[in-house]
Structure 1
Amino acid sequence: MRLEVLDHGYSRGTKLLFRVIRLFSGHPVPDAARLVFYRPDFYGSRAKTFTHEAMRGPSAWSVGDRELMAAYVASVNESAFCIGAHSATASLSYQDAPRVDAVLADVDTAPIDERLRATLRMLGKLTREGTVSAEDMRAVLATGVSPQQIEDALAVCAVFNTTARLADAFGFELLDHEGYEAGAKYLLKRGYR
């Protein structure tokens, strides 16, 4: 059940921004954006900064790789909104929806680089179990992933474990295909600011 708190409590400026977004995009503002604007001093401003840095900051992982990590973490969490949003963004970034679908169906058989596969396995274990071992990290490093890439992947994992749980707690409204596509285009153009 969607919590109606996301429908109220915005400043006039934010309400105007939501109307402009709807006018130009043809779609209502997704609940993920509404949450960020709901309490910007408590959650939103910090979340935008951290998320943008994890997803668009300097990294050896491509934008598509990080969006795929977000979709994969969301799939482990069974968060329908986040799966839709980030699989659409990864698909658009890669220009390869079948690859994204294959990863979400079975990371072990998906047609992806072994470094990304090992990293996704590690993120999946961390998401499911809440812990990883030194052995898990050595397995990722053995594929050629750098320590910095592991840190970058862990940042994505932290962001989307939090976001997926918030999406489910607030009951984010699912979008149709066109809504997820519009969101993906926005995220690829502007990031998470």
Structure 2
Amino acid sequence: MRLEILNSGYGAATKALFTVIRVVSRQPLPDAAKLVFYRPDFYGARAKKFTHEAMRGPSAWSVADRELMAAYVSKVNDSPFCIGAHTATAGQAYQDSAKVAAVLADLDSAPIEDGLRATLRMLGKLTREGTVTAGDMREVLSAGITRRQIEDALAVCTAFDTTNRLADAFGFELLTPEGYASGAKILLKRGYR
């Protein structure tokens, strides 16, 4: 069910900002952006800060790897808006959309490093089942991933597990391929601020 508040719950200054963004990008403003401006003191400001740090803060994971994690978690959650947004962003970040598509189609045969594969497998299990075991963590560590990388991957998972649920609860509208591509360019340039 789409909540009308995403279309009308803003003051004049925020509506003017949305108009400027729409004119500059030549695309409709995604509902994800609208959500963080709705009651920013309650959710938006904290969510932007946490997500930006998880996705663009210092990490041994590349921006492309973290965007792929976001796309993968979104796929496991079956969140169409977020799958589209982060598949496009990961594809642009890697400059290899086929690689991203291969991971989302079949993780086991995708052309990625074993450490990233083990990490995505662990994030998928956590997302599906809500828990992982010490054995799951040992598998990731044995693939050459550090404890810090695991923490960073878990932060990405947390950010997008939350965002996926909000996207579905608010009924985020899907974008065109051009809309996702435009949003990806902005995310790669500005991050999640």
| TM-score, normalised via structure 1 length | 0.99
Partner of 1:98: 98
Tell me which amino acid in the other structure corresponds to 2:133: S
Aligned to 1:73: 73
> Which residue in the other structure is 2:48 paired with?
48
How well do the aligned residues superpose, as a CA RMSD in angstroms?
0.5
Q: Displacement of 1:4 after TM fit?
A: 1.1
> How far off is 1:52 after superposition?
0.1
Partner amino acid for 2:138? R
Per-residue deviation, residues 92-129 of structure 1 (Å, max 9, x unmatched): 00000000000000111100000000000000000000
State the shift of 1:168 in Å. Answer: 0.4
Question: What is the DSSP-based 3-state SS (H/G/I as helix, E as strand, rest coil) of the residue aligned with 1:152?
Answer: helix
CA distance in 2, matches of 1:8, 1:57: 32
Extract unaligned runs of 5+ from structure 2: none
Tell me the alpha carbon deviations over residues 15-74 of structure 1, each in whole angstroms, 9 at most, x when there is no partner. Answer: 110000011111111000000001100000000000000000000000000000000000
Q: TM-score, normalised by structure 2?
A: 0.99
Aligned residue identity for 2:63: V
- Per the alignment, in what secondary structure is the counterpart of residue 107 of structure 2? coil
User: 1:59-70 to 2 correspondence within 5 Å?
Assistant: 59-70=59-70
Do structure 1's residue 156 and structure 2's residue 156 form an aligned pair?
yes
C-alpha distance in structure 1 between counterparts of 2:170 and 2:9, whole Å: 15
Amino acid at match of 2:169: A
- In structure 2, what is the equivalent of residue 189 of structure 1? 189
Show structure 1 runs of 4+ deviating over 3 A: none
Count residues in correspondence.
193
- Whether 2:114 is the aligned partner of 1:109: answer no
Partner Cα distance (2:127, 2:65) in 1: 17
Gapped regions of structure 1 (runs ≥ 5)? none
Other-structure match for 2:146: 146
Q: What is the distance in 1 between the residues matched to 2:5 and 2:185? A: 27
